[in-house]
Amino acid sequence: MKLEAVDLREPALVCPSTVVDIRGPLLKIHFDGWEVTYDQYLDMDSLDLFPVGYCEITGHPLQPPGPRPDPYTQPGYQYGESHMKGLAGNNLTPAAPKMTKPLKTEQVNKPKPVKSPLHPESMYFVNRRCCCGPYLNDAKLLKIPETVKGVLGGSDKNNIVRKCLQLLVTSSENPKNVLDLLCHEFYQTKKHSDLDLAATVCIEIKTKNDKRIVRRVKIASKADTIRPNIERVLQLLGCCPNVFAKDKYPTEQCDACRVKQTSELNVNYTEFTQQPVSVPSNEPV
């Protein structure tokens, strides 16, 4: 059954439609040319249903079946065509685009200046098999990175002295005691006046109960006193000064530590061989 019905989604539109199903007093209206997903149910006494020819008699516009074609997706459509026709009807011509001045060859090929960093960067090799002294743990020391990179001064996070101190505290037998030792020792600025301890960094540790402890340690603020500051820390902990060094040793152990370790092994071997050996006697007691 054909009729003309109002689209409930767009109440201002009257569309040609077909009754495709009847369920009691409800009529299932299908809009001609549209998919079934747009079907609607209307009561048979609804004022939104009209007989065929209603729009022609009343002068109300009747929508054509199906969706309207999109002019922007039609083949052969050129953007701005209607606008150009309007200009032609008004005897107007579009303004010519403004020409920009070409850049000079010097401006095109001129490289951009590179900003130099505020603080120079540095790197230390970690010789993890050197003598670690009484405070550090050999096994923990072997797990730290092979290199330490940072800046000579600047922010607390990237400071190379802070990174070295953090590695030493983390790889120690008792991190809290070592951290307290560093805080107390380098708080005495007069004792270490040659280092110019004008900067501070934060060192963090975690206890067995996952409690976070943060302490501030004074460090050197000038680039030429960074290396003496690290050597002073290693001396305080009884470590070899080459634990953090500019040179990387093939076995991660400096020559002095290798000679010392070899001599200690020889001494222990000599003491072991010189001990009297008890031979069991076969004579009856």
Alpha-helix residue ranges (DSSP H) falling in the chain: 54-58, 81-89, 105-109, 138-141, 160-170, 175-186, 226-236, 255-273
Q: Does 10 or 91 have the greater pLDDT score?
A: 10
Range with the lowest mean pLDDT among 44-53, 76-85, 175-184, 212-221? Answer: 76-85
Rounded CA gap, 22 and 28, in Å? 6
Is residue 216 within 8 A of residue 201, CB to CB? The reply is yes
Is the full-model pTM beyond 0.75? no
CA dist 258 and 252 (Å) reads 10
Percent of the chain having pLDDT more than 70? Answer: 73
Residue whose C-alpha is closest to residue 48's, from 40, 56, 36: 40
Ordered structural domains, the chain, with CATH: 2-58 (2.30.30.140), 121-253 (3.90.1150.190)
- Measured CA to CA, the distance from residue 160 to residue 219 in angstroms comes to 11
- 264 versus 227: the higher-pLDDT residue is 227
> pLDDT, tens digit, for every residue of 98-107?
666 665 555 5
pLDDT band at 116 (very low <50, low <70, confident <90, very high): low
Which stretch of 108-122, 218-232, 239-253 has the lowest confidence by average pLDDT? Answer: 108-122
Q: Describe the chain by its helix, strand, coil percentages, rounded to 5.
A: 30, 25, 45
DSSP state of 270: H
Kindly report which listed range (63-72, 168-177, 203-212) carries the lowest average pLDDT score: 63-72
Q: How far is 216 from 169, CA to CA, in rounded Å?
A: 13
User: What's the token pair of residue 205?
Assistant: 């540790």
Query: What does the pLDDT look like over 239-267, one tens digit per residue?
Result: 999 999 988 888 888 888 888 887 776 55
Q: C-alpha dihedral over 173, 179, 181, 183, to 10 degrees?
A: 170
Q: How many helices (H) and strands (E) does the chain have?
A: 8, 10
Contact in structure between 253 and 242 (CB atoms under 8 Å)? no
Closest to 33 measured CA to CA, from 67, 6, 68: 67
Q: What residues pair up with 203 in beta bridges, in sequence order?
A: 215
